[in-house]
Amino acid sequence: MASSQSSRYQHKITLIGVDPYHVDSAAFSKDTSLLPAVDYPDIFNYLVHTVSAYTAQELKAYKSMESYNYFISGKVGELQTFVPQTTSSNHIFLALAQVKHSQKLRAPPLRPWVIAQKDGVVLAAHCTCMAGLGETCSHVGAVLFAIKAAVMLRESKTVTESPAYWLLPGGEPKEKYLEVDKIDFHSKVTIKQRLDITLAAGKETPYRERQNLPNVAEPTDAELNSFLGELHAAGDKPVLLSVMENYAEFYAPASNTSTGKPLSELYDEQCTLMTREQLLLHCSTITVHVTEREADEIEQQTKEQSKSKAWYRFRAGRITASQMKAVCRTSPDNPSRSLIQHICYPLSTGFTSKAATWGCDHEQQALMCYRQLMSTHANFICETSGFVINPELPHMGATPDGMVHCDCCGDGVVEVKCPYCVHDSMSLRECVGDTRFCLEQCNEKLQLKHSHAYYFQVQAQMLVCNKEFADFVVWSENDVHMERIEPDAELWDEIKSKSMAVFSRAILPELVGKLFSRPCQAVSE
């Protein structure tokens, strides 16, 4: 264990005054009344606010969270509790359980422990797995969910007025091999729902058993061929025919149209144990690659923009056009933590405001006004854009409000803004005095400030989308401003160099090893 990691471990065990792995087994109790009252908010606060927004994204979807799957799959053994001698008014408890590996069936169980207050507030955790020093491995999460379920049962009673702890998922001493008809093939979501109902009721909830079908005589070859022929003639492409010798050729699967992996999948739990220098060296060996075909498919899949899950998935870890000014102004070696969080975890940093709601509600109205202004252009077209990734700049992305084309001007993008500050009967010119406003007056005309984040945004959109111009539109209920922005070669060079520096030295280390969202910033600088 490295010195920084050893120091952190010593700090954790001072909470109870003893190393959990040195406590005599006889000092542990299996009495569930001693378990701390851990609940969902306590688990969320520990895994999310104490650690990182990456976990927050997983916690929102039980079917994809490995720790909860460990629990409902019976990987967590019997919970044991140790009550250290303490003078604190709010008692501190140590909970420990053995957790079996997901794949290594013959490997010794892991021994994660959790230190929590009586009221359920989680103070620290550890595990004997490779990632246990990170304090939030899947095995720690599984123990927390097991405690939560046990506490829930403790508060409920069966008809015998005794908590039905036998209802909890529990691991067998050895994994059993079962016949297919005895295996539970229900999804994790279904198992979770069934378990929640069971825990809330304090008794096992019956569910529909599989019915035994009557014996049916095996069909003759003629009957089978007639049946398969009728299926094929129906034209619905049933799966059965795809494995039948005379019909399989008609059901060949379409060519693979993989859209590549999101950057969030670069995460490696073992890299959370690396120092900064080790992590940067490791990241220097990683190449982000997107083909033209993959970029096209991603753009098509994300045309619903914020309504599309894929839109968030492929934005995660990429510098988007709207963040470009902030990226160009931050330090690659000491970046804004909130900026890194917004880039790497877009789902966990979403917010709503009156200004944002106003802009979304009036975007289509503004685009309609723009189309009317451009209606005199030859064969003008304005189409919805998805998330665009340039294969030559795969660390960047952009979602302009529209892709435009006309025979007279060529190909471009359009970006519309509906500022909330322009209200009632105000004109756009009246807002120029506000230093935060995006427009300024120059030679009696309004124009976009070159120092404003919107200028960086439209320049990045042209760069990523490889377009010849950007139409910047500011719309209000009483006024509209449309301005054509040309490529700024000098700014393009700055955008490319600054964004690559921040991506390689800050964003990629966060994606791979959670450099900036670790629970303890004890990494070597």
Long-range contacts of 442-450 (CB under 8 A, 24+ apart): 446/481, 446/483, 447/483, 448/472, 448/483, 448/485, 450/488
Both 69 and 193 in one domain: the answer is: yes
Domain boundary among 173, 201, 229: 201
Both 298 and 396 in one domain: the answer is: yes
What pLDDT, on a 0 to 100 scale, did the predictor assign at position 62? 40
Q: Between 523 and 461, whose confidence is greater? A: 461
Q: Is the pLDDT of residue 477 over 60?
A: yes
E strand or H helix at 414 = strand 410-417
What pLDDT, on a 0 to 100 scale, did the predictor assign at position 423? 67
Residue 174 lies in a domain: yes
Q: Which of 103-112, 360-369, 499-508 is least confident?
A: 103-112
196-206 residue pLDDT tens = 666 565 555 55
- What's the mean pLDDT in 405-429? 84
Both 275 and 195 in one domain: the answer is: no
What pLDDT, on a 0 to 100 scale, did the predictor assign at position 89? 47
Both tokens assigned to 257: 């149209």
Both 156 and 29 in one domain: the answer is: yes
Nearest CA to 482 out of 396, 370, 406 is that of: 370
* Contact call for residues 516 and 497 (beta carbons, < 8 A): no
Select, from the ranges 181-185, 310-314, 416-420, the one with the highest average predicted confidence (pLDDT). 310-314
Domain boundary among 158, 185, 201: 201
Both tokens assigned to 149: 């379920």
Nearest CA to 518 out of 137, 140, 134 is that of: 134
What pLDDT, on a 0 to 100 scale, did the predictor assign at position 57? 42
What pLDDT, on a 0 to 100 scale, did the predictor assign at position 458? 96
Distance of CA 319 to the CA centre of its chain: 16
Q: Between 243 and 293, whose confidence is greater? A: 293
Both 276 and 151 in one domain: the answer is: no
What pLDDT, on a 0 to 100 scale, did the predictor assign at position 308? 80
Q: Is the pLDDT of residue 53 over 70?
A: no
**CA pair distance 457, 342, nearest whole angstrom:** 16
Select, from the ranges 181-185, 195-199, 229-233, the one with the highest average predicted confidence (pLDDT). 229-233
Q: Is the pLDDT of residue 194 over 90?
A: no
Distance of CA 182 to the CA centre of its chain: 35
Burial class from Cβ neighbours inside 10 Å (0-12, 13-18, 19+) for residue 296 reads: middle
**CA pair distance 46, 331, nearest whole angstrom:** 29
Beta bridge partners of 383: 403
% the chain with pLDDT above 70? 77
Q: Is the pLDDT of residue 328 over 90?
A: yes
**CA pair distance 277, 489, nearest whole angstrom:** 34
What pLDDT, on a 0 to 100 scale, did the predictor assign at position 488? 95
240: CB partners within 8 A, 6+ apart: 228, 231
SS (H, E, C) 158-184: CCCCCCCHHHCCCCCCCCCCCCHHHCC
Both 137 and 43 in one domain: the answer is: yes
Q: Is the pLDDT of residue 130 over 90?
A: no
Q: Is the pLDDT of residue 470 over 80?
A: yes
What pLDDT, on a 0 to 100 scale, did the predictor assign at position 60? 38
Nearest CA to 362 out of 206, 514, 475 is that of: 475
Q: Between 140 and 88, whose confidence is greater? A: 140
Domain boundary among 175, 201, 227: 201
Taking phi over 0 as left and psi of -120 to 50 as alpha, with beta for the rest, 424 belongs to left
What pLDDT, on a 0 to 100 scale, did the predictor assign at position 237? 76
| pLDDT band, very low/low/confident/very high, at 120 (cuts 50, 70, 90) | confident
Q: DSSP state, 110?
A: B
Full strand arrangement of the beta sheet holding 402-406: 381-383, 402-406, 410-417, 469-475, 480-485
Both 280 and 150 in one domain: the answer is: no
What pLDDT, on a 0 to 100 scale, did the predictor assign at position 230? 87
What pLDDT, on a 0 to 100 scale, did the predictor assign at position 253? 57
Both 190 and 293 in one domain: the answer is: no
What pLDDT, on a 0 to 100 scale, did the predictor assign at position 162? 52
Residue 238 lies in a domain: no
What pLDDT, on a 0 to 100 scale, did the predictor assign at position 208? 57
SS (H, E, C) 13-64: HCCCCCCHHHCCHHHCECCHHHCCCCCHHHHHHHHHHCCCHHHHHHHCCHHH
**CA pair distance 140, 146, nearest whole angstrom:** 10
Q: Is the pLDDT of residue 351 over 60?
A: no
Both 55 and 145 in one domain: the answer is: yes
What pLDDT, on a 0 to 100 scale, did the predictor assign at position 108? 81
Both 286 and 170 in one domain: the answer is: no
What is the residue type of 74? G
Residue 287 lies in a domain: yes
Residue carrying the six token digits 């959790």: 114
Q: Between 324 and 196, whose confidence is greater? A: 324
What pLDDT, on a 0 to 100 scale, did the predictor assign at position 523? 43
What pLDDT, on a 0 to 100 scale, did the predictor assign at position 258? 42
Q: Is the pLDDT of residue 408 over 70?
A: yes
- What's the mean pLDDT in 53-81? 62
- Looking up residue 355, the CATH number of its domain turns out to be 3.90.320.10
Q: Which domain holds residue 177?
A: 3-201
Residue 226 lies in a domain: no
What pLDDT, on a 0 to 100 scale, did the predictor assign at position 119? 86
Q: Is the pLDDT of residue 34 over 50?
A: yes
Q: Is the pLDDT of residue 85 over 70?
A: yes
Q: Angle CA(415)–CA(417)–CA(422) in degrees, nearest 5? A: 160
Query: Counting every residue, how long is the chain?
Result: 525
Helices (H), 398-513: 453-465, 489-502, 508-513
| pLDDT band, very low/low/confident/very high, at 189 (cuts 50, 70, 90) | low
- What's the mean pLDDT in 208-220? 75
**CA pair distance 246, 345, nearest whole angstrom:** 50
* Contact call for residues 447 and 455 (beta carbons, < 8 A): no
What pLDDT, on a 0 to 100 scale, did the predictor assign at position 58? 41
Residue 224 lies in a domain: no
What pLDDT, on a 0 to 100 scale, did the predictor assign at position 180? 66
Nearest CA to 35 out of 120, 145, 155 is that of: 120
Number of independent structural domains in the chain: 2
Q: Is the pLDDT of residue 411 over 90?
A: yes
| pLDDT band, very low/low/confident/very high, at 291 (cuts 50, 70, 90) | very high
What pLDDT, on a 0 to 100 scale, did the predictor assign at position 174? 53
What pLDDT, on a 0 to 100 scale, did the predictor assign at position 467? 94
Beta bridge partners of 110: 99
What pLDDT, on a 0 to 100 scale, did the predictor assign at position 522? 42
Both 471 and 363 in one domain: the answer is: yes
Q: Angle CA(311)–CA(317)–CA(323) in degrees, nearest 5? A: 85
Residue 236 lies in a domain: no
Average pLDDT, the chain: 81
Residue 63 lies in a domain: yes
Nearest CA to 82 out of 67, 71, 70, 97 is that of: 97
What is the DSSP code string of 373-412? HTTTSTT-EEE----EEETTEEEEEE--SEEEEETTTEEE
Q: Between 171 and 353, whose confidence is greater? A: 353
What pLDDT, on a 0 to 100 scale, did the predictor assign at position 356? 73
Residue 233 lies in a domain: no
Long-range contacts of 352-358 (CB under 8 A, 24+ apart): 354/420, 355/419, 355/420, 355/421, 358/418, 358/420
Q: Which of 191-195, 207-211, 288-292, 373-377 is least confident?
A: 207-211
Both 176 and 270 in one domain: the answer is: no
Q: Between 408 and 52, whose confidence is greater? A: 408
φ/ψ of 424, rounded to 5, equals: 55, -125
E strand or H helix at 520 = none
Q: Is 0.85 topped by the overall pTM? A: no
Both tokens assigned to 5: 């990691």
